[in-house]
Structure 1
Amino acid sequence: MIPAPKPTAPAHGSGPLQGSEWIVEADASNFERGVLARSLTVPVLLDFWATWCGPCKTLGPELEKRAREGQGRFLLAKIDIDRNPELAQAFRVQAVPTVLAISEGRLVDGFQGALPASEIDAFLDRVAPSGALPSGTDAAVARARELAASGELEQAIGLLRELLRDAPAHNAARLVLAEILIDAKRPQDARLVLDKLEDDPASAEQVKSLRAKLDFAAAAGDRAELEATLRANPADLAARIQLAKALVAAKEYGPGLEHLLDVVRADAGAQRGEAKKTMLEVFAMLGLEDKLANEYRFKLSLELFS
């Protein structure tokens, strides 16, 4: 994933948002864990805006007010398109304001433009029914994500393990625990957690994705050495594939897929086959609705069938 540009201006012309854990500034660096992962337990609204956008100054405060009053009815993730063009592109945002709703990792609804208050409330009734407040355990999962996003991985792991002792059937918490264990470079522990989800059909796709992440992490070589090898010999396709795997393991999916696509373009033999196979594994890991995966699915098909 491409790192987000350094922030240069506050949201909606105001200072940094404070006073609510249910409003966050989202960028490429925190989107997967701080936004997308949280949609597993609470609906998330993505508010794409810009400092120069007049209607954004009307809609933004209305959404923020409802997020504060809702106290967990939904999470509002504010995304400045000028500072985060990669996110705007990934979600195909053509104009601002654009609001998209995500639930359980999937895009479920959205609208464009500054709606009147009554239509905002009707939209929220559809995507975040007021009776669907997070339980205490769901709130604990959200807190664990926040700890992990701030680098406090061990504290997050401890909180989730304590939660699962009291609520062993909370599979969303188990999935988050497995992901954090992967980030903490504790693959054996992560595999043990995922093993306990094998009989849960609802978690099957996410378990498959997390196992793929574990496999990429295990196969990743030394990134610095691989980059040096490629600088010395850009035609070393084996090293390019290994670097791609290391990038994917580090969640830099775009650069990793680009390296793999370069191999597909350059080779007609075994390395082309390995690069294609690896790309398909990344697509499966990211899921059918991932914008980046779909972009590279199309690029790969052009190379394979042209």
Structure 2
Amino acid sequence: MNEGLPKMQAMIVDITADNFQQMVLENSFHLPVLVDFWAPWCGPCKQILPQLENLAQSWAGRFILAKINTEEQTELANQFQIKSIPSFKLYKNGKVIAELQGAHPLAKFKEMLEPHLKAEPSEELRLQAQEAFQVGNYDEVVRLLGEAAQANPNNYRVHLDLVKMYLHTGNLEQGQSLFDKLPEEAQNSPEGKPLKLLMRFGKIVDESPSIEDIQATLREDPGNAEALYGLVGYLIIHNAFEEAFKALLKLFSSHKDFQDNIAQKTLVELFESLKDSHPELVKNYRRKLQMLMF
């Protein structure tokens, strides 16, 4: 599963008045079609479009991303009374079933699309693998993820799941090796970005005292900077991001100069990595950091 991963073939099409009937309306009887009304001069359009293209890559075969350049396709823009961009319409069975206006977090588009996606065998196997992981049956996890990768080699979330398992079981080198073989769109996906943090903090945890020693230190000295940062490492590799935010804010408040303001730098890095997968959490703690700063 680690070698020779094929390139994803996303269904991304440019729409004109001539192909709208076929590419959007007719195709929507087979797959959901997300229509993106955009323009080259539109800043928010340029912000969200690459994210949607990455989503089309990672969900290849499950929906179609149809792009309409309103500067070139004025007839379509007028037909659909597009007053502001970006503007999005989701088609299914020839009809608009959902709409969005403006730039939203990627999670919002996933939320709109997911109820209408066809069942995907590799996703079922991923869910079974996650259940096996919860009970510590790691051999079964590897077997199920291997089947999932065979069922859909384009589903990079399968490979990211395996990276995650390696990291949580202390196999940092294997996790890093597999992650490095994945394409950039997978590494920089909402699921991939947090794994970069897990790998970096996994190395920090390897060099830190045990979690029992860190907790004992913090019981005696709750503001100990070294112990607080070590705790952050353990929290991050176990996906306890909110607790990690709390520990970093405490470190920032009490030891702002510790390791050249590492608390603030780590918070900013976490915000960037988690903004798509945990938008509300990031928004909340970004505000808390700003309040402490100003």
TM over 0.5: yes
Q: Which has the larger radius of gyration?
A: 2
Distance 1:201 1:286, change over 3 A: same
Mapping of residues 10-29 of structure 1, within 5 Å: none
**What corresponds to 1:70 in structure 2?**
none
* One-letter amino acid of the counterpart of residue 257, structure 1: F
Distance 1:159 1:280, change over 3 A: same
**What corresponds to 1:201 in structure 2?**
185
SS in 1 for 2:261: helix
- Contact conserved, 1:178 with 1:190, CA < 8 A, in 2? yes
1:224 paired to 2:212? yes
Q: Distance in 1 between matches of 2:262 and 2:130?
A: 35
Mapping of residues 1-306 of structure 1, within 5 Å: 106-108=107-109, 128-129=115-116, 132-165=117-150, 167-197=152-182, 199-201=183-185, 203-205=187-189, 206-220=191-205, 221=208, 222-271=210-259, 273-288=261-276, 289-304=278-293, 306=294
* One-letter amino acid of the counterpart of residue 228, structure 1: A
CA deviation profile, 1:48-80 (whole Å, cap 9, x unmatched): xxxxxxxxxxxxxxxxxxxxxxxxxxxxxxxxx
Distance 1:259 1:165, change over 3 A: same
CA deviation profile, 1:177-228 (whole Å, cap 9, x unmatched): 212222222222211221221x342552333321211111221231111121
SS in 2 for 1:106: helix
* One-letter amino acid of the counterpart of residue 128, structure 1: P
- Contact conserved, 1:179 with 1:190, CA < 8 A, in 2? yes
Q: Distance in 2 between matches of 1:147 and 1:195?
A: 25
Sequence identity, in percent? Answer: 20
Give the CA RMSD over aligned residues: 3.0
CA deviation profile, 1:140-174 (whole Å, cap 9, x unmatched): 22322232233323211122124435644332211
Structure 1 unmatched runs, 5+? 1-39, 43-103, 111-123
SS in 1 for 2:288: helix
Distance 1:173 1:235, change over 3 A: closer
Distance 1:271 1:196, change over 3 A: closer
Distance 1:172 1:253, change over 3 A: closer
Distance 1:235 1:200, change over 3 A: closer
Q: Distance in 1 between matches of 2:141 and 2:248?
A: 34
Q: Distance in 2 between matches of 1:105 and 1:224?
A: 38
Q: TM-score, normalised by structure 1?
A: 0.53
CA deviation profile, 1:112-167 (whole Å, cap 9, x unmatched): xxxxxxxxxxxx9x7522xx322333322232223223332321112212443564
Q: Distance in 1 between matches of 2:157 and 2:233?
A: 27
